[in-house]
Amino acid sequence: MLVLLPPSEGKTSARRGKPLDLQTLSWPELTPARERLVDALIELASGDRRLARERLALSERMDDEVERDTKLRSAPTLKAADLYTGVLYDGLDLASLDTAARRWANRNLVIVSSLFGTVRLNDRIPPYRLGICTRLPGIGALTSFWREQLGSLLVEAAGRDLVVDLRSNDYAATWRPRGPLAARTVAVHVRREGVVASHDAKYTRGLVARQLSIAGERLRRPDQLVDVLAPAFDVRLDRAGLSWRLEVLL
């Protein structure tokens, strides 16, 4: 199965740990693309500070975030499971999963990162600041950049199984399944009384990923996803073009 997660702006810093080694990350075929982005971000952060703030959408009070981007090659790394600390990851609560659920999560959860493309929970990466809507000098729009890189890679990763898309709209723009895979793709949306609830939506998506990890099943059809989630959530499954839309109602 392939369960796609967004990253989070909130990230943990480590005092000690190995520096970044791009060759050790999942999908080593992305190494050249990752090299380009890491070098471009370091160059941006190390240059004119005003330009860096502007491109990264940061204020002067967040210069420590810019400074952190200058040290991507030397900073201690953490497992992606420990790095991201946002609301979705609070709902997922990986640390409290039992061994079987954590093993399932390690195999099936994939984080779509603006800097590294796709990473698994055990991949070691440093903290960074780079939004997916950023236009990096020499690179351009990151959504377009990764769209060119991730197509066949994620099709192969999905295999014949279901794709559950828990990404935000901005990160969803980096890859949209086509053809037969679209019919096995379910995008999860969260609503409260017909209105999208941002904070609750993120947390609930984390709970959905958690429920899938605990269930530990290999799903190939959208209706099987409903069977797994229905005991914990009020869900509605509908067609959305070639793919599917699952609404979780709060």
* Stretch among 65-74, 146-155, 191-200 having the lowest mean pLDDT: 191-200
Residue 194 has pLDDT above 80, yes or no: no
Residue 202 has pLDDT above 90, yes or no: yes
Q: Which residue has the tokens 């096995």?
A: 184
Mean pLDDT of 124-138: 96
Residue 250 has pLDDT above 90, yes or no: no
> Percentage of the chain with pLDDT > 70?
98
Q: Would you place residue 244 in the very low, low, confident or very high pLDDT band (cuts 50, 70, 90)?
A: very high
Higher pLDDT among residues 250 and 115, named by residue: 115
- For residue 28, the tally of other CB atoms under 10 A from its CB is 11
Structure tokens at 134: 């950023």
CB 116 within 8 A of CB 125: yes
Structure tokens at 160: 């014949």
End-to-end CA distance of the chain: 26
Which tens digits make up the pLDDT trace of 26-59? Answer: 999 999 999 999 999 999 999 999 999 999 999 9
pLDDT computed for residue 197 by the predictor: 60
Which tens digits make up the pLDDT trace of 65-75? Answer: 999 999 999 99
Which tens digits make up the pLDDT trace of 175-191? Answer: 999 999 999 999 999 98
Domain boundaries, given as residue ranges, for the chain: 2-249
Rounded Cα distance between 137 and 65, Å, is 18
Which tens digits make up the pLDDT trace of 67-117? Answer: 999 999 999 999 999 999 999 999 999 999 999 999 999 999 999 999 999
Higher pLDDT among residues 111 and 197, named by residue: 111
